[in-house]
């Protein structure tokens, strides 16, 4: 690891120099355990005593959207809303027919990018919360839904209001109760708290930073208002890599990371529900970037390796936080991958699952049905080990629902003989038999 640390230390300095950012904080972790951290530069140019490290706060800007999206999915899992609900159902008074919660999460709604004022980025005035629905109704749908990926901060302001409407309290109160307190994210806040990096802009033809004084407050907060640290963001992504199901279902995280829109013609970038997915060197990194005056961030994780890369910078014009954060993670994944976790025994399968285990054939291809962690799973025989299995949950006797992986949403039905033994399975209506059969051949009675 020592050689890798030296390489990462140099890469961090190179990133700080390329971005001319007064401060850069970075880290790589394995499932929440820090492997490397770095602080390059000075956190506060007016006060050299301000420390720069994994507990120094930076504005994280649009990385805030990952928290907002997660709260929306929590509320969906609780039955308080549906992803395909029209926005006009939440909050009262909205009149944009056909815009859905799912579309906003995936930036596939076609709604305009920013709030109603065409001078928003000139004035940086926080929209009036009392007039928000009226302003939302005045915005424009610039594209047909699902025809293109079109990033929309406006969409996440609406999602923040949807969270508040569905949860019966403000977005900030929901965030604190649903995620920050349960996960111990004490350094993730709506205001910068010491020690914190200053906010700067470095003009292109001088090396003299200019102070920035802009914070995204009020209804803007749900799209980009949080401040956080390398340590807290590592903890946040550790939760996403292995969620506590009392807070968020593992199946829900898998759903959020399924592609809903593909902005990259080369198919190396996709967009899920609140998260970007980037393909690098055969690995899929999920996460988000953030850009605000004086705060540029990137936080990405790879589910297979369990690695997380983080970079936080405080120059408005800092460069390519996604490539920087992923590059840190790739360096460890390629040259110093964490040791594999040993296999550990699980509990005995439920008796009703035992006759379903083993090899079944459909359309001549073999599938392996197994139990892991007490849950029935299926995977194509010979599939790459990184391929997520189909996971089933029981609906009733001899009936299951696929909750993640292949054929998500489809039912698995167990067909029995008169003596009660299992004759075949029907999964998504396709038959699965113990021997390979053509479509015209009958299964053995």
Range of the domain at 360: 351-432
Whole-prediction pTM value?
Answer: 0.88
- pLDDT above 90 for 214: no
> Position of tokens 């014009």?
317
pLDDT band at 118; cut points 50, 70, 90: low
Nearest to 110 by CA among 85, 144, 69: 144
- pLDDT above 90 for 386: no
- pLDDT above 90 for 16: yes
Contact yes or no for 182/191 (Cβ under 8 A): no
In this structure, the answer to whether residues 298 and 371 fall within a common structural domain is no
Number of domains in the chain: 2
Do the domain assignments include residue 444?
no
**Residue 354 carries which DSSP code?**
G
**How do strand 276-280 and strand 210-211 relate by DSSP bridges?**
unpaired
**Residue 334 token pair:** 């390629």
Mean pLDDT of 301-308: 95
Nearest to 302 by CA among 323, 274, 270, 330: 330
In this structure, the answer to whether residues 225 and 106 fall within a common structural domain is yes
State the pLDDT at residue 444: 67
Given 335, 365, 383, the domain boundary residue is 335
Do the domain assignments include residue 445?
no
What element of type H or E holds 200? strand 200-201
In this structure, the answer to whether residues 315 and 405 fall within a common structural domain is no
* DSSP result, 276-320: EEEEETTEEEEEEEEEETTEEEEEEEETTTTEEEEEEE-BTT---
pLDDT band at 222; cut points 50, 70, 90: very high
State the pLDDT at residue 337: 85
Q: Could you report the per-residue pLDDT of 124-177, keeping only the tens digit for each?
A: 777 777 788 888 888 889 999 988 899 999 999 999 999 999 999 999 999 999
Mean pLDDT of 95-119: 88
Do the domain assignments include residue 267?
yes
Q: Could you report the per-residue pLDDT of 33-67, keeping only the tens digit for each?
A: 999 999 999 999 999 999 999 999 999 999 999 99
Hey, which residues does 368 pair with through a beta bridge?
359, 379
Kindly report the CATH number assigned to the domain that includes residue 237.
3.40.710.10
**Residue 26 token pair:** 């970075």
**Residue 338 token pair:** 């964490």
Any idea of the CA torsion for 197, 198, 203, 207, to the nearest 10 degrees?
Answer: -80
Do the domain assignments include residue 196?
yes
Contact yes or no for 318/296 (Cβ under 8 A): yes
- pLDDT above 90 for 268: no
Do the domain assignments include residue 87?
yes
């Amino acid at each position: 690891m020592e050689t890798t640390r030296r390489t990462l230390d140099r890469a961090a300095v190179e990133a700080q120099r390329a971005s001319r950012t007064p401060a850069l904080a970075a880290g790589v972790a394995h499932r929440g355990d820090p492997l490397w951290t770095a602080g390059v530069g000075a956190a506060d140019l007016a006060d050299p005593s301000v420390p720069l490290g994994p507990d120094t706060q930076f504005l994280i800007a649009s990385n805030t959207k990952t928290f907002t999206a997660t709260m929306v999915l929590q509320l969906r899992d609780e039955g308080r809303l549906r992803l395909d609900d029209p926005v006009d159902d939440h909050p009262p008074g909205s009149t944009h027919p056909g815009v859905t919660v799912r579309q906003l999460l995936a930036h596939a709604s076609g709604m305009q990018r920013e709030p109603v004022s065409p001078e928003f980025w000139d004035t940086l005035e926080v929209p009036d919360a009392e007039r928000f629905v009226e302003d939302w109704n005045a915005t424009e749908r610039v594209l047909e839904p699902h025809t293109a990926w079109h990033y929309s901060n406006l969409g996440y302001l609406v999602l923040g209001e949807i969270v508040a409407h569905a949860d019966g309290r403000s977005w900030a109160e929901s965030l604190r109760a649903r995620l920050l307190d349960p996960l111990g994210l004490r350094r993730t806040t709506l205001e910068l708290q010491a020690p914190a990096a200053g906010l700067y802009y470095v003009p292109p033809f001088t090396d003299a930073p200019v102070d920035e004084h802009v914070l995204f407050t009020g209804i803007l907060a749900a799209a980009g208002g949080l401040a956080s640290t390398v340590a807290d963001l590592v903890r946040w992504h550790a939760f996403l890599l292995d969620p506590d199901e009392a807070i968020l279902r593992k199946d829900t995280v898998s759903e959020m990371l399924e592609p809903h829109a593909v902005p990259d013609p080369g198919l190396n970038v996709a967009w899920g529900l609140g998260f970007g997915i980037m393909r690098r060197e055969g690995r899929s990194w999920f996460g988000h970037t953030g850009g605000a005056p004086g705060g540029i961030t990137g936080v990405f994780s790879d589910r297979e390796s369990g690695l997380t890369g983080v970079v936080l910078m405080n120059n408005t014009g800092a460069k390519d936080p996604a490539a920087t954060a992923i590059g840190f993670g790739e360096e460890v994944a390629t040259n110093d991958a964490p040791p594999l976790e040993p296999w550990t025994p699980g509990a005995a399968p439920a008796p009703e699952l035992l006759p379903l285990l083993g090899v079944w054939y459909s359309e001549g291809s073999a599938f392996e049905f197994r139990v892991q962690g007490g849950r029935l799973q299926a995977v194509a025989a010979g599939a790459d080990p990184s391929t997520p299995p189909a996971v089933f949950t029981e609906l009733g006797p001899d009936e299951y629902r696929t909750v993640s992986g292949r054929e998500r949403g489809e039912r698995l039905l167990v067909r029995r003989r008169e003596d009660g033994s299992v004759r075949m399975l029907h999964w998504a209506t396709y038959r699965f038999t113990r021997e390979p059969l053509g479509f015209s051949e009958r299964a053995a009675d």
